A and B are shown apart, each in its own frame.
Chain A
Amino acid sequence: MNAPAKQYQLLFVDDDGDFLAMIRDFFASLGENIWQIHCATSVDQALELLKVRQIDLVVSDVNMPMLDGIQFLHILNRSHPDLKKAVVTSNATEEKRSACLAEGAELFIEKPRSPEGLRSIFIMLEELITWTPREGFQGVLRRVGLQDVIQMECLGRNSSILEIHNQQLRGRVYIEDGRIIHAQADDLAGENAFYQLLSLPSGEFQLHPFELPAKRSIDGQWEFLLMEAARVRDETMAAQASATGPVPPLETKPAFESSTTAFHLAARVEETLICSGQGEPLYAWQCPDTSARVALLQNMAQQAASFGQLIPLGNFDRLEIQLTGSRVVAQARADRLVFVRVSTGGEKSATQFR
């Protein structure tokens, strides 16, 4: 392994002073002059240190008095969003692991009981601290529908891999330049895998930088795929209801928290219309008045062209209409017009009238 050129600043936070002393001695010798180790026995101390030191990696315990490690991670997400974070705890339950990872910890490790264990942790932390994130944004979201995430990626013509998992299923959706090109879920691949993943009632997701999949198994337009996924999901729900009685509405609520002040609670697609560039409806789902919506889309396209002439801002991408309790995204392209309305549940806005 190549030795990193810079000296890394690590902050260990643990209310167990003996453990900190052991870490300082052991890691200082393993890290030679490359690791500079700082210790704090409370979150308060750690936050004070973070004000005066340029820390590269925080390694925190979970069970601490006053503020615990999960709350600490939560604070760090807001105050130091770019900081790398790891958790080392003697109480490594699945619940705590999920909570810490959801709060942005990159590593969740059980406290070592031997020098070999300490050495393993050293290697893992060294990997983490020298890892350079690739271009792009990293963030956390709370209770966002998978459909919204996919729409966001497709409308933005992004390339990414959406990894989705819960206790029953794990899979990936590959999005390239705003097109869904592949999905796999356990042994399934293609559209069936996509529908299976979109039917999950709850779970977690992560967006990863795009990498080419081993194969391309999906060729359809993302709007149709999402609509078909909604249909499959509705059918699944209906089948469950007939088998077991009424079930609550399905929502995908990944256990991630938003780092933004405006977030969506239980967002779901409520209406979709896709037309040809000439305004011929190709697909309408829960659209109360298709011709009125077509008129609206055509009006929007004309307005966008007019604005583009008045203020030169380049090509038009989309119109977003914030309504009370819902949001509309409308697009006008040469080959298609798209209207999607999504309920936003408890979404708050700075401009909401009081």
Chain B
Amino acid sequence: MNDTLQEWLATGAIASGLLGCGMRLPDATCLSHSFNEICPRERLDQVLHQLAETTTFLTSHGLAPRRLSWTFEQGQIYLFPRPDGALLVLATQPNTEAAENVDELAEEFFSLNAAN
């Protein structure tokens, strides 16, 4: 597991209203961090694996996503796929700093060294 990515998930990505965040690396390993008990790490990992399948499914239907956002009554799940196959997932509460800044967080994710 890469320390830089883990550190960014634990501290760099933190924002008010962020329930949890995680990455799925191209080799299918997951790094997740929970900021709220309703969003434990192991469940984020499951979400990440499912979203990886969804991304593949959408791409096969000619809908290669740059971003997915699943909106629920009490929160959103965002997915940002990177060209190298890495995925970032963010679970946020609505109308919070985290929800408003998902693009900035994704920008940082994209700027992290793809080899990490």
A-B contact count (CB 8 A): 100
Is A208 an interface residue, CB under 8 A from the partner? no
Is B112 an interface residue, CB under 8 A from the partner? no
A321 to B57, CA, bound (A): 13
A122 to B116, CA, bound (A): 65
Interface residues on B, range: 35 or more
Q: Which residue of A lies closest to B94 (CB)?
A: A313
Are the CB atoms of B65 and A322 closer together than 8 Å?
yes
Which stretch in A146-154, A177-185, A298-306 binds the other chain? A298-306
B54's partner among A299, A308, A324, A328 (CB-CB below 8 A) is A299
Interface of B is mostly: mixed
Given contacts A307-B77, A311-B91, A314-B72, are A349 and B103 in contact (CB under 8 A)? yes
Residues of the B chain whose Cβ atoms lie less than 8 Å from the Cβ of A303? 50, 54, 70
Are the CB atoms of B61 and A296 closer together than 8 Å?
yes
Q: Mark A289-329, 1 if CB is under 8 A from B, else 0.
A: 00011011001000110111011111111111111100010
Residues of the A chain whose Cβ atoms lie less than 8 Å from the Cβ of B19? 311
Given contacts A311-B75, A317-B72, A328-B63, are A350 and B50 in contact (CB under 8 A)? no
A322 to B54, CA, bound (A): 14
Give the interface of B toward A (CB within 8 A).
19-20, 38-39, 43-44, 46-47, 50, 54, 57-58, 61, 63-77, 80, 83, 91, 103-104, 106-107, 110
Give the interface of A toward B (CB within 8 A).
262, 292-293, 295-296, 299, 303-304, 306-308, 310-324, 328, 349-353
Report the 3 A-B pairs with minimum CB-CB distance, sorted nearest first.
A314-B73, A350-B103, A313-B72
